[in-house]
């Protein structure tokens, strides 16, 4: 199982999934370049999906892995789509978590407001409260324990004992380049998922993946595709919600039953 995180996230996002599935499944949870334990890029303009695809392809080659279930959240889902377009034979199954060929401008605008802006907090509780303030509408049901757990996945302690975001702030630079939003039409890639067990997860409150886009994705992929909507969650589900757990189990059952 290859677990690919979102833009500002890292391998720790998949801790709940690994706690539940590790053992029966081998989980590979890489930090993308510039995140957490991975080195920062010399050139920030390499913080783009095609470069991430090259990095992941090299990782898979080094590990001699040629067949896996891809679990892609947001940016990780875009990388999964690129894998389907270039090496669909690698995919035994796929989960596209709150991402699709069309992304809503409201969600993109919200992401641009925070990505690449450094934060520093004196304690984990302060970091958790900051997350609650900025993401309370995304996870309205969260309590302090859940915000603390999220903070410990997203932040790290620096050498001065401050709690800071655990990624290279320069990952935002490609997003600021004029014309960076112009991209190829990704809708034809949905056909590459045909015949591959595929799960589209959508947060009920998502501002990045619309209900119409999710429905069209499943229609384009055809038999073997499922869309599951995660209630009272925005962008993106964290994969420990009861609806997510049940949908992932159904996906894995389809993979194993071939």
Model pLDDT for residues 42-93, shown as the tens digit of each residue: 999 999 999 999 999 999 999 999 999 999 999 999 999 999 999 999 999 9
Q: Give the rounded percent of residues in the chain with a pLDDT score beyond 90.
A: 92
* 43 CB-near residues (< 8 Å, 6+ apart): none
Q: What is the pLDDT of residue 181?
A: 54
pLDDT digits (tens, 9 = 90+) for 107-145: 998 998 899 998 999 999 999 999 999 999 999 999 999
User: 62, 85 in Cβ contact below 8 A?
Assistant: no
Domain 2-113+182-257, CATH = 3.40.50.1820
Q: For the chain, which residues make up each domain, given as ranges? A: 2-113+182-257
pLDDT at 48: 96
CA distance 54 to 16: 27
Strands (E), the chain: 2-4, 68-73, 91-97, 120-121, 155-157, 163-165, 198-203, 225-230
């Amino acid at each position: 199982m290859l677990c690919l995180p979102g833009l500002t996230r890292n391998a720790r996002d998949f801790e709940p999934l690994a706690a539940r599935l590790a053992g029966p499944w081998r989980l590979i949870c890489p930090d993308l370049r510039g995140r957490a334990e991975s080195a920062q890029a010399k050139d920030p303009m390499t913080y783009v999906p095609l470069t991430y695809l090259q990095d992941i392809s090299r990782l898979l080659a080094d590990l001699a892995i040629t067949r896996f279930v891809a679990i892609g959240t947001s940016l990780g889902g875009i990388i999964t789509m690129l894998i389907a377009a270039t090496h669909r034979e690698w995919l035994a199954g796929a989960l596209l978590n709150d991402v699709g060929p069309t992304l809503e401008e409201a969600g993109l605008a919200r992401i641009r407001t925070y990505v690449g802006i450094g934060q520093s907090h004196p304690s984990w509780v302060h970091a958790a409260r900051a997350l609650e303030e900025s993401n309370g509408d995304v996870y309205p049901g969260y309590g302090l324990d859940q915000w603390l757990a999220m903070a410990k996945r997203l932040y790290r302690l620096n050498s001065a004992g401050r709690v800071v975001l655990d990624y290279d702030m320069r990952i935002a630079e490609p997003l600021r380049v004029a014309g960076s939003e112009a991209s190829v039409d990704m809708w034809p890639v949905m056909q590459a998922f045909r015949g591959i067990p595929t799960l589209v997860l959508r947060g009920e409150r998502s501002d990045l993946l619309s209900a119409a886009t999710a429905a069209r994705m499943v229609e384009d992929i055809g038999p073997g595709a499922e869309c599951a909507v995660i209630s009272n969650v925005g962008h993106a589900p964290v994969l420990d919600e009861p609806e997510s757990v049940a949908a992932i189990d159904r996906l894995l059952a389809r993979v194993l039953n071939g």
